[in-house]
Amino acid sequence: MEDQNLSGEMVPVILKDGNVCEVSSGTTWGEVAAGLSRKLGKETVVARVNGDLQDLLLPVSPGEKVEFLTFVDDEGQAVYRHTTSHVLAQAVKRLYPEARLAIGPAIADGFYYDFDCEHPFTTEDLALIEEEIKKIIKADYPIIRQELSHDDAIAFFQEKEEHYKVELIKDLPADVQVSIYKQGEFVDLCLGPHLPGTGKLGVVKLLSVAGAYWKGSEKNKMLQRIYGTSFPKKKNLDEYLQRLEEAKRRDHRKLGQELDLFGIAEEGPGFPFFYPKGMIIRSELEGFWRSEHRKRGYQEIKSPVVLNRGLWERSGHWDHYKENMYFLKIDDEDYAVKPMNCPGAMIYYKTRIHSYREFPLRIGELGLVHRHERSGVLHGLMRVRCFTQDDAHIFMLPEQITDEITGVMELIDHFYRTFGFSYRVELSTKPENAMGSDEIWDLATKALVSALEKKGVPYQLNEGDGAFYGPKIDFHLQDSLGRSWQCGTIQLDFVNPENFDLTYISDDGSKKRPVMIHRVVFGSIERFLGILTEHYGGAFPIWLAPVQVKVLTVASRHVEYAALIAHQLEQEGIRVEVDERNERVGYKIREGEIEKAPYILVLGDQEVDSEMVRVRKRGEGDLGSFELNDFVARVKDEIAKKQ
């Protein structure tokens, strides 16, 4: 590459592919990227240097290994959008100088910034702020990092009357250097990194305003949170906004009400109600779950919802999960409503002595659990306070671990492909609050890696995000809108068999500890149903549809024939609903389509005389006349194939 600074001595830097290039001392990472190619220099947003992200304005050091990230990379997007949040804050401060700054991180698909401002932001205000953002981008202010001592940083933000920033700094150790970023007249407390200048931003769209408590605590002041997103090109923004509109149309809360499936009452925030049609879908999901698990040798149990405190202390939940649990007193003793099903499975295991010949022992449970969630994060069926977890706990010998994990992965793959989901896999390792020794964790993690490699499953490493009792494999499914949802998980546990003193009689007659797997497929029946509602846009495949066939009469004289057809369909196990209202048939067809019935049968004089049915299929329209037996065979075949 060409030198960017001919006056300095030459120093080597190592590129991602291992090649070494010589650059002048003092050359910045941005200049290195531009020297490699004009396109890379234009598109690079941040440098990963020896594994850490760095600003492009920082100078190189000899022997450092660098990778240049663009907006295509997840970390590149995060830096890009975090910079956008700073530009948003700068625009707000220009228009509303009295506003006080809180925090402004990048989030999935966008960013937000929290403000303490007496002026309530409106949709019209967002348009004004967007115009100011455009001016800041056009000005192309360099974004400069500086470091201050702890005391100087406090004094700096106190002078600016930014008390939220002062509070954040006071939470930091007194001996650390505090970094700030400047762009034009604007200064913000930030760890970074950022884009080298505001002109690197493309298009910005502010989306909404919401309330948010400072530091997420209801005890603190309510702030105003402005959400937005940004992209390098307008085309990307337009595509994203189209996806947002489609997501609104598919919102499971909206469809749940329109299709009469489920809802949340004011009397029970976070505690969903399932209506008759919603219960049909739920029952089908549970029936599918039970059928597939029986085929694979699982036995089902049901454990109590309320259990004594001593159990939760033994399981570790009392120390590691108490803030998410509900408690009550029974006969002057402490009890807890279960947040997880695991301890119940272990109590069942201890009801008798087990032999090594029984293993693997696969115990499943569709268990109702309760977890305390703050009101601000509740969201339809996606974030609730009670839900049914499709748990299973597998007890096995150490030499059976790889095969059992492989079997669970195959089961999860079968489930997700049945619903039309693709997915990606993450491996999460030991967290800070983990129970058990490093040796046990190392053994468990290697076992999960072995199973993944045996199946040839690509995975992303997620350091430090395992359960407190063991590492885990998480499955993130992708829906029809391209969104990712974490549902299935496999957790390997050597700790709780020790805590609960679980044993089996080995082949030499001695007592030994089993190894345990915790795993879910749906994750939560409620959440999975919400995901499915949005994935299908309410147009459920025929095997799940609450009403599989809607029968419409053209006139009142056709009601008797409609009742006969409906009865015959019901006898075949097909869910049917008759619309015999005295309305125009075109109106009734449109209503049936809005209700997303897979099939609509239209019955008039011609159908009565010929003893046929006129068939309309969702998405295809009029298919013509059918013999009833032929139509029934078609529907039953589609149900069996889960089409």
Identify the three-state secondary structure at position 263.
strand
Query: CA 374, 379, 382: angle at the middle one, nearest 5?
Result: 110
Distance, in Å, from the CA atom of 141 to the CA atom of 123, rounded to the nearest integer, reads 27
SS3 of residue 106 by DSSP: strand
472 carries an active-site annotation: yes
CB 400 within 8 A of CB 522: no
Distance from C-alpha of 108 to C-alpha of 509, rounded to nearest angstrom: 54
Verify whether residue 190 is a known catalytic residue: no
- In whole angstroms, give the CA distance from residue 503 to residue 257: 49
Which one from 77, 389, 400, 491 is the annotated catalytic residue? 389
> Active-site residue 342, yes or no?
yes
Instruction: Provide the CA 43 distance to its chain's centre, in angstroms.
Output: 29
Question: Considering 82, 93, 393, 588, which one is annotated as catalytic?
Answer: 393
Q: Which residue has the tokens 């201050």?
A: 148
Does residue 354 have an active-site annotation? no
**Count of CB atoms within 10 A of residue 159's CB?**
8
Q: Which two tokens stand for residue 281?
A: 């879908």
Q: Which of 165, 370, 518, 596 is catalytic?
A: 518
Long-range contacts, stretch 272-278, CB < 8 angstroms, 24+ apart: 272/380, 272/381, 272/384, 272/386, 272/526, 276/546, 277/546, 277/547, 278/529, 278/546
State the catalytic residue, choosing from 86, 293, 362, 371.
371
End-to-end, the C-alpha distance of the chain in Å comes to 56
Decide if 150 is catalytic. Answer: no
Residue 185 per-residue DSSP state: T
Q: Which of 165, 317, 338, 472 is catalytic?
A: 472
User: Strand 599-603 vs strand 549-553: parallel, antiparallel, or unpaired?
Assistant: parallel
Q: Which helix (H) or strand (E) holds 201?
A: none
Stretch (H or E) spanning 430: none
Q: Which residue has the tokens 């009734």?
A: 588
Instruction: Check: CB of residue 395 under 8 Å from CB of residue 347.
Output: no
Catalytic residue, chosen from 125, 391, 479, 579, is 391
Q: 604 Cβ partners below 8 Å, 6+ apart? A: 553, 554, 555, 558, 585, 614
Residue from 117, 190, 342, 487 carrying the catalytic annotation: 342
For this structure, is 391 an active site residue?
yes
Tokens of 379: 């969201």
Query: What residues are annotated to the active site?
Result: 342, 371, 389, 391, 393, 472, 518
